[in-house]
Amino acid sequence: MYTDPATRAAAWVGRNDADMTDLNVLDTELETVRMANGGDAVGHVDGRVVFVRGALPGERVRVRIEDRSNDRFWRAVVTDVLDPAPDRVPPACEAAAHGAGCCDLSFVEPAAARRLKTGVTADVLRRIGPLTDDGLAAAGLFDEGVRALGPDGEGWRIRTRLFVDDQGRAGVHAWHASTVIVGHHCSAPLAGLVAGLDVERFTPGAEIVAVAGADGRHLAEIAPPEPVRGDRGDRRHVQRTRRSRAAARSTRMLGGAETVPHTVGDRTWDIGVNGFWQAHRAAPATYAATVVAMMENVDVDPAGTVAWDLYGGAGIYAGALLDNAAAQVHVVDSDAGAISAASTTFAGEARLRAHRGEVAETAVGLPSPDIVVLDPPRTGAGRAVIDMIAAADPRVVVHVGCDVGRFARDLAFLAERGYRVRALRAFDAFPGTHHVETIACLTR
């Protein structure tokens, strides 16, 4: 019998003692049959679907049922692996093995994890998106499946965020909990990025941001959010807490400058230490090159082409479009820091215009596009933005998605408006986790 004590310990995180009455159900064995979107394996107990964290397809596992609130399915955590899958390996991430929510698939051989994620991506695109097996094959998803962004191994993350417990120690949040796991390192950060932080003491409740730039490490402490008074069980308290955490908080630099230089190709962007930049060190250049390559066989003349770079941030895709596919690019983003960085990087470049504002309202007044590239947040673009894009009638749309479910939904909206997927790529943007970055090129 294979037993992982750390996984057993993690199974108790978030446990509800009030549910400990039916031990035959709450502590049981099952066999898993497939992988689900979100990193869980799927099994069954008495005919009911159970999503199991910490399991792989084809395993016999002992689990503890932790959530029975849904009538259609339950959620469980592995306590013992009785019959392991061939691709199970000792967890590569020490923090995740001790209950942290960082690297939820670090116990899977990396190439095997990408195969699993390829299957999950295809399944979601069939169920939610507009694609069939033939369409997925024609678009190229299965040519390489989910692709690695670099050599397998640790140290791919160039920016990370740690959380400070009430004793001033920095660590990683526990899975779906506010508890901070300290003394156990995550395997994802670049070598040296969080070095020494485990022995330092910080402001309790603060967040520590570490970013590797072209000039070395930048380190900042983000002040704790304002405390929220009220009944902790009240829904309004939860909403107030979320607003408090999202509100602007003071930043104290602990090392390096407040802006971090990042270079892609011949351009350098200066991004605020707490601003957005892709976490994987190879992601910006790879995604930009993929966006351009996808349009190589599309009949668009760069000489007079207008492009929209929606949710464009600092303009990574805009730079690639100016270099390869467009005569004029309009970057739209609601983040003031990102638009400022874009304006600085492209200062003197008359072919680029940066616009700050919500995408659905701001893009309506722009010149009609031949090309639209959109890279929305995890919530996706949504119907209003997709309808706005379709009404502008671009010849080609390239959608970059960081949540495959919302990505598939947006592709379905585009299909309703007459667009079809010509090319599809998927990348292992966060190795050791269930996350996948997907890019699709669509034309009328």
Active site residues: 402
Question: Look-up: residue for tokens 């009030």?
Answer: 18
**Cα 150 off chain centre by:** 17
What's the rounded Cα separation, in Å, for the pair 81 and 166?
A: 34
The sheet with strand 420-427 has its strands ordered as 146-147, 420-427, 437-443, 396-401, 371-374, 306-310, 328-333, 352-356
Angle, helix 404-416 to helix 382-392, in steps of 10 degrees: 40
> Is beta strand 170-173 parallel, antiparallel or unpaired with respect to 73-83?
unpaired
DSSP state of 224: P
Q: How many whole angstroms separate alpha carbon 48 and alpha carbon 74? A: 8
CA angle 102, 431, 156 (to 5 degrees): 90
End-to-end C-alpha distance for the chain, whole angstroms = 55
Give the C-alpha distances (Å, rounded to integers) separating 147 from 83, 94, 117, 151.
Answer: 29, 25, 10, 11
Q: Are strands 73-83 and 48-53 parallel, antiparallel or unpaired?
A: parallel
